[in-house]
Homo-oligomer: A and B are copies of this chain.
Amino acid sequence: MSDIKKYVAQHKDRFINELLEILKIPSVSADPAYSQDVMDMAEATKKALEAAGCDFVELCDTPGYPIVYGEKIIDPNLPTVLVYGHYDVQPPDPMELWTSPPFEPVIKKTEIHPEGAIFARGACDDKGQFYMHVKAFEYMVQNNQLPCNVKFMIEGEEEVGSKSLGWFVERNQEKLKNDVILISDTGMISNQQPSITTGLRGLSYVEVEVTGPNRDLHSGLYGGAVANPINVLSKMIASLHDENNHITIPGFYDKVIELSVEERAEMAKAPFSLDHYKKALDIEDVYGETGYVTNERNSIRPTLDVNGIWSGYTGEGAKTVIASKAFAKISMRLVPDQNWEEITELFTKHFEAIAPAGVRVQVKPHHGGAAYVTPIDSIGYQAANKAYTESFGVKAIPVRSGGSIPIVALFEKELKSKSILMGFGLDSDAIHSPNEHYGVFNYLKGIETIPLFYKYYVELAK
C-alpha cells in the first residue's frame, strides 16, 4: 500500500467527520437570509487551511463574500499549483423533496455507493470536492511529500456568478501567480471509469418581467380583452425555440464553433446508454435539438432553459385572476466562441422586440461567463491523466461538460494559466437538486489521487 493510501485509511473517520461538520453550515450565497452562515463557512475554511499546513491564510475582503486565500511556498523556483474551489452552496429548495434535512448530513448507502454516500447540500458541489484538496495537502505536508508550492483560493459566490472573484483576480495577479490551476468542481463518468473535463459551456443568466395591466384583474370581467402576462410570457418563451428546437434569437449561433465530423466521432466513443439515461430520469424520451445526439446536446451545443417561472395565484384552490406581472428566470448555456455579454444583449433585444402591444417587458441580466476548452496535450492534463490512471487502474477519458464554471475562462485571461478540471463527482450525485450526495469512495479516492497529480506535474514540468 502506498503512503497516501495508508494515510487515508488511518485518518478516514476524521476526514469524513471534518467534512460533515462544514456541511452543517448552510452557506447559501443566493439568499441574503443566510449571509451570516456564509461568513461562518469562510471562517471555517480559513481554519481548515491553517490546520492542514498553510503558512499563511487570510480572508480577503471583496465587494461581496470574502475569498479565503492560503499558501505554502516551499521554494520560489519550484512550480506553483493554485487550487480553486468554492465554499458557498446552492439554495436547498424545494425543501419538501429532501429525504433528510439538507444541512444535517447523514451517510446512507445507495446502489451506486454501496460503501455509503454523504447526503447534504454542498456534499459534492463543492464542499466535499474542495475539501479533498485540503486533506491531500495535509498528507503532503505531514509526510514531506509536497513537491512544489501551493496556493488556495476558495470563494463564496460561485453559485451566484462569482462576481467578486473577477474583481479579486484582476487586483491580485501577482499574489495568485501560478503555473497551473487545479479545480475539483465537476464529475467523472463512473467510479470505474474516471474522466477529465476538457470543455465547459459558458452561461448567460437573465430574469424577465412581463407587465400587462397595472393591477391584478378579475378574469371574468377582463378575460379575453387584455393581454394576460402569463399567456404572453408563455408565448414569448415558446417562440424562443423553433420546431427543431433551434434557438430563434437572431445572431445566437453566429459565433458557435461547429465540431468536425472526426471530433464528433471521437465524442461518440464515450460509454453512454440512452436506455439507462432515460431510466435514471424516468422519462420516456429525450428531447432536444434536431441533428444532435444527447451527449452533444448537453455539451457542444448552446441551449436555452427556463429555470424558474412565477405569476398569479399559486396557492391552494382556484382564483380567477389575470395577474399584472409574470416573471421568469432564463439561462443560456454557451459554447466556444459565443461571448456571453453579446448573447445577453441579443437576448434582451430580441425579447423586447417580440413583446406584443399591451405588455411591457424588462430583462435584467444576472450573470454570465465564457465557455472554455483545455488542450489534452498540456502538462496539466497529462499529469492529471497519469494520476487517475495510477489511482483507478484505468486511463481517464477526456469529456466536454455541459456545465459552466465561468471563472475558468477568467483565470486564463487574467492569470494566463490553464485550469485542470479533476472532478470526482458523478451525474447521479443530484447537485443543485434535493438529496445532493457525494460518495465516501469518491471523497477518499479524490484525496488519494490529488497528491499523484502534484508528483507527476512537477516531474513533467522539469
Give A contacts to B, CB under 8 Å: 29-32, 90-91, 93-94, 97, 159-161, 187, 201, 203, 205, 207, 212-228, 230-235, 237-239, 241, 281-289, 294-295, 297-298, 301-323, 326-329, 331, 333, 356-360, 366-367, 401-404, 427, 430-435
Contact = CB atoms under 8 A, between A and B. Distances in A.
A317 B432 contact: no
Contact of A317 (B30, B228, B318): B30
Contacts of A318: 30, 159-161, 205, 207, 307, 329, 331, 366-367
Contacts of A222: 298, 402
A205 to B, nearest CB: 5
Given A298-B225, A433-B217, A357 B287 contact: yes
6 contacts: A201-B220, A214-B282, A215-B434, A225-B294, A231-B304, A287-B358
Given A307-B318, A307-B322, 13 more contacts: A32-B316, A90-B319, A93-B315, A215-B430, A221-B401, A225-B288, A230-B308, A305-B322, A307-B321, A309-B311, A309-B314, A320-B404, A321-B433
Contacts of A201: 220
A219 B305 CA distance: 7
A230 B306 contact: yes
B319 A94 contact: no
A197 to B, nearest CB: 11
A423 B219 CA distance: 18
A239 B218 CA distance: 23
B91 A315 contact: yes
A219 B432 CA distance: 9
Contacts of A435: 215
Contacts of A333: 219-220, 223-224
B308 A358 contact: no
Contact of A307 (B29, B214, B219): B219
Contacts of A359: 283
Contacts of A403: 218, 220-221
B160 A221 contact: no
Given A91-B315, A286-B225, A318-B30, A220 B309 contact: no
A97 B215 contact: yes
A231 B305 contact: yes
Contacts of A358: 283-287
Contact of A30 (B230, B284, B302, B316): B316
A213 B281 contact: yes
A74 to B, nearest CB: 37
Nearest to A428: B215
